[in-house]
A and B are shown apart, each in its own frame.
Chain A
Amino acid sequence: GEDVEQSLFLSVREGDSSVINCTYTDSSSTYLYWYKQEPGAGLQLLTYIFSNMDMKQDQRLTVLLNKKDKHLSLRIADTQTGDSAIYFCAGPHSGGYQKVTFGTGTKLQVIP
């Protein structure tokens, strides 16, 4: 199956950039995703990247994909207190395209 690994915690100061990293094992992954979970809420799709891309930018968010190293990162520019949340990396499960496998999540704490 798909193993998706992330660090558990990241703390940054407001205004700085945040970089959340993820590694995955399934090289056949077509789409890779970043989801955001705010306290007490469900997950929301933040952004996603197709495996034939190296980078995708969406306003303050930049996704970088290194297929050789199976490494995915999410950069948040000018991090705000409202960005405090848990961020999940996810990808299709090797056991079936219908399934999505999630990492453990990285809790981002933004210090004012």
Chain B
Amino acid sequence: NAGVTQTPKFRVLKTGQSMTLLCAQDMNHEYMYWYRQDPGMGLRLIHYSVGEGTTAKGEVPDGYNVSRLKKQNFLLGLESAAPSQTSVYFCASSYLTEDRKLFFGSGTQLSVL
């Protein structure tokens, strides 16, 4: 099993450009999450989804949109990238169980110039 796969692994954008990060999981998990990791700030939740067709805002949703058209995929979009969105982005997924054990992808390093 591949687990949680993120594409791309690296990307450089210019301010104002748009892009979509793709997350795919093959574990039939109900929940999926997008986090960003910045030095000294740990992981902060951007958006999450509790099932196909549903999404919800996390702690830092501004400037991002998400979609979950298929259970196995969770897309994170940046409509107009800003330098403040330079970060490492992680996707995670989990089962619908009380112990919220997360399985993470390997991350996407995004730089916005």
Q: Which residues of A contact B (CB under 8 A)?
A: 1, 4, 8, 30-31, 33, 35, 40-45, 48, 50, 88, 92-93, 97-105
CA distance A39 to B76 in the complex (A): 23
Q: Which residues of B contact A (CB under 8 A)?
A: 4, 31, 33, 35, 40-45, 48, 50, 56, 58-59, 90, 92, 98-107
CB closest residue in chain B, given A5: B42
Min CB distance B66 to A, Å, is: 14
CA distance A1 to B58 in the complex (A): 11
Min CB distance A7 to B, Å, is: 12
Contacts of A100 in B (CB 8 A): 33, 45, 100, 102
Are the CB atoms of A42 and B105 closer together than 8 Å? yes
Min CB distance B11 to A, Å, is: 16
Are the CB atoms of A105 and B42 closer together than 8 Å? yes
Q: Of B40, B100, B106, which one neighbours A97 at CB under 8 angstroms?
A: B100
Are the CB atoms of B90 and A42 closer together than 8 Å? yes
CA distance A104 to B38 in the complex (A): 9
Are the CB atoms of B104 and A43 closer together than 8 Å? yes
Are the CB atoms of B90 and A43 closer together than 8 Å? yes
CB contact under 8 A between A102 and B43, given known A42-B90, A43-B90: yes
Are the CB atoms of B106 and A42 closer together than 8 Å? yes
Known contacts A30-B98, A88-B43, then 12 further A-B pairs from the complex at CB < 8 Å, ordered by chain A residue: A8-B40, A40-B106, A40-B107, A41-B107, A43-B43, A43-B102, A45-B101, A48-B101, A92-B100, A97-B100, A101-B45, A102-B43
Q: Of B45, B90, B103, which one neighbours A99 at CB under 8 angstroms?
A: B45
Min CB distance A25 to B, Å, is: 15
Listed by A's residue number, 15 A-B pairs whose Cβ atoms lie within 8 Å are A8-B40, A42-B90, A42-B107, A43-B90, A43-B102, A43-B104, A88-B43, A97-B100, A98-B100, A99-B45, A100-B33, A100-B100, A100-B102, A101-B45, A104-B41
